[in-house]
């Protein structure tokens, strides 16, 4: 994705015209006067939807081609340094543990016990006075683990699928080792301004799928590609954050992968999609196609409205709802599906037969979600607003950091920068449960809806860049 974006940025062809709605004069209700949400302008759009379209027009390039290339190169260099630091830490950790945990080291315990001296009548000496060593170098280990074996690996970037902003913004780098089909995931963390550390998040081991059509099957190199999910049982992993352990299942989304390493590891024996998995994908694609046209001009209101609706009906706060509640939500937002399609989607999501489904996952499947290229920009903007990863941002901070000075309608004099900012704040706060704070989930949901009306990835990236300066 990065390479295609670089090539696109280097092209000198003029940018195509923006959406025709962006070219039309601004509706009268965009003059920042208070108006009810359901007020409809002559174009058939509510005031909120019209303000959303104003944000979708913010697609002008914030930087020149040279500036864009320099920023990309700088970001790529910094990312590569982080990944290299994690690679080195993984090699050190795994090779050290292989020696220490080797059964051959137990033979040194007898020698050590014979060397211990005891005082008459006092028993053995305290542990702190014993002559202890990490391991005896004279002992020959039977372990075959070497750096060459560990180097035959597939590296991937991942994120946690979570509504918790602190967890969703964790920077995870994983490794799949081909020699024993094991994997491990590390978290790259910053402590202060200059101190960094790579810490194990998922310990090295052989794992299986815990959800979906491949449940129970061991992970293989063919399971790793951008956009796929890796699932783990939180009960099997000690040391996970408390917020992650609250759920039985941990889901990681792969957002980047070393394609060259993957091609070198691929063999004819790697798994391919089964007929059932292909059928599931076709059903989801068909359902999303049915709703795509309905959501073209009201994506933000629908996405944020559905989330608030389901949240209000989630009395226990568990994040799951039953079939009748999900179906009623779609009906209330005029997104009815044919009964056969709804039942097919339900069977795909409720594979455990619990008669309840995570409603955030339901929305992502039925309506669709941004690709990982777009999500990366949303996360980058959010982390700029919430550098301490608290999981929520004050409305005042958002208003302070938002910039509308490069908006085309500000340049033309049709709107002021304050009006553009007020339009954005109105639409964002409409999707929030609190009038003072915006959570990561609400921030992402807003841009999920905004993304539905922007076809081009570069245009969406420019909206984020212009608004937040990332």
At 53 the pLDDT is 81
Residue 118 structure tokens = 């005891």
CA–CA distance, 379 with 444 (Å, rounded to integer): 8
CA–CA distance, 14 with 143 (Å, rounded to integer): 61
pLDDT band (50, 70, 90) for residue 27 = very low
pLDDT in tens, 366-404: 988 889 999 999 999 999 998 888 888 999 889 999 988
Q: 99-103, 328-332, 430-434: which range is least confident on average?
A: 99-103
Q: Which domains does the chain have, with CATH numbers?
A: 152-272 (2.30.29), 276-367 (1.10.238)
**What percent of the chain clears pLDDT 90, i.e. is strictly above it?**
21
Q: Residues near 64 by Cβ (< 8 Å), separated by ≥ 6?
A: none
CA–CA distance, 439 with 378 (Å, rounded to integer): 13
pLDDT in tens, 279-303: 989 999 998 888 887 787 778 888 8
Comparison of pLDDT for 208 and 64, the residue scoring more:
208
N-to-C CA span, the chain: 18
pLDDT band (50, 70, 90) for residue 97 = low
pLDDT in tens, 169-207: 899 999 999 888 899 999 988 776 777 888 899 999 999
**Residue closest to 386 by CA, chosen among 160, 166, 164:** 166
Average pLDDT in the chain: 79
What DSSP line would sit under 415-445, residue for residue? Answer: S-HHHHHHHHHHHHHHT-S-SSEEEHHHHHH
Q: What is each CA distance from 99 to 66, 103, 105, 198, 281, in whole angstroms? A: 50, 9, 8, 21, 45
pLDDT band (50, 70, 90) for residue 28 = very low
Confidence check: pLDDT of 15 > 60: no
Beta bridge partners of 357: 321
Confidence check: pLDDT of 276 > 50: yes
């Amino acid at each position: 994705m990065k390479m295609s974006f670089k090539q696109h940025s280097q092209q000198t062809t003029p940018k195509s015209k923006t959406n025709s709605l962006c070219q039309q004069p601004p509706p009268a209700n965009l003059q920042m006067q208070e108006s009810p949400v359901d007020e409809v302008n002559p174009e058939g759009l509510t005031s909120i939807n019209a303000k959303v379209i104003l944000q979708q027009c913010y697609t002008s390039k914030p930087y020149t081609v040279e500036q864009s290339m320099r920023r990309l190169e700088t970001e790529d260099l910094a990312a590569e340094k982080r990944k290299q630091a994690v690679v080195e830490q993984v090699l050190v950790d795994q090779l050290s543990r292989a020696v220490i945990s080797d059964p051959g080291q137990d033979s040194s315990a007898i020698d050590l016990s014979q060397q211990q001296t005891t005082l008459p009548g006092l028993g053995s000496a305290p542990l702190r006075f014993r002559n202890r060593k990490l391991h005896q170098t004279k002992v020959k280990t039977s372990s075959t683990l070497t750096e060459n074996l560990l180097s035959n690996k597939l590296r991937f970037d991942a994120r946690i699928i979570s509504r918790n902003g602190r967890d969703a913004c964790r920077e995870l780098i994983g490794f799949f080792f081909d020699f024993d089909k094991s994997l491990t995931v590390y978290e790259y963390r910053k402590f202060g301004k200059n101190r960094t550390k790579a810490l194990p998040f998922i310990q090295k081991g052989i794992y299986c799928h815990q959800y979906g059509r491949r449940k129970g099957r061991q992970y293989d190199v063919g399971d790793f590609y951008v956009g796929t999910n890796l699932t783990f049982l939180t009960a099997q992993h000690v040391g996970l954050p408390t917020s992650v352990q609250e759920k039985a299942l941990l889901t990681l989304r792969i957002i980047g992968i070393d394609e060259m390493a993957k091609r070198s590891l691929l063999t004819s024996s790697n798994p391919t999609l089964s007929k059932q998995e292909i059928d599931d994908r076709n059903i989801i694609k068909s359902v999303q196609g049915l709703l795509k046209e309905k959501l073209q001009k009201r994506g933000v209101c629908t996405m944020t409205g559905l989330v608030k609706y389901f949240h209000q009906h989630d009395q226990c706060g568990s994040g799951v709802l039953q079939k009748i509640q999900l179906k009623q939500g779609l009906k209330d937002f005029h997104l009815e599906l044919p009964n056969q399609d709804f039942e097919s989607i339900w069977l795909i999501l409720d594979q455990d037969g619990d008669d309840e489904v995570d409603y955030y996952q339901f929305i992502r499947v039925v309506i669709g979600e941004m690709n990982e290229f777009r999500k990366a920009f949303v996360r980058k903007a959010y982390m700029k607003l919430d550098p301490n990863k608290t999981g929520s941002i004050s409305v005042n901070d958002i208003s302070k950091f938002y910039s509308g000075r490069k908006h085309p309608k500000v340049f033309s004099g049709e709107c002021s920068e304050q009006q553009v900012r007020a339009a954005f704040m109105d639409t964002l706060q409409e999707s929030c449960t609190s009038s003072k704070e915006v959570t990561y989930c609400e921030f992402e949901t807003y841009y999920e809806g905004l993304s539905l009306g922007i076809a081009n990835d570069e245009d969406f990236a420019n909206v984020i860049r212009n608004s937040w300066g990332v």
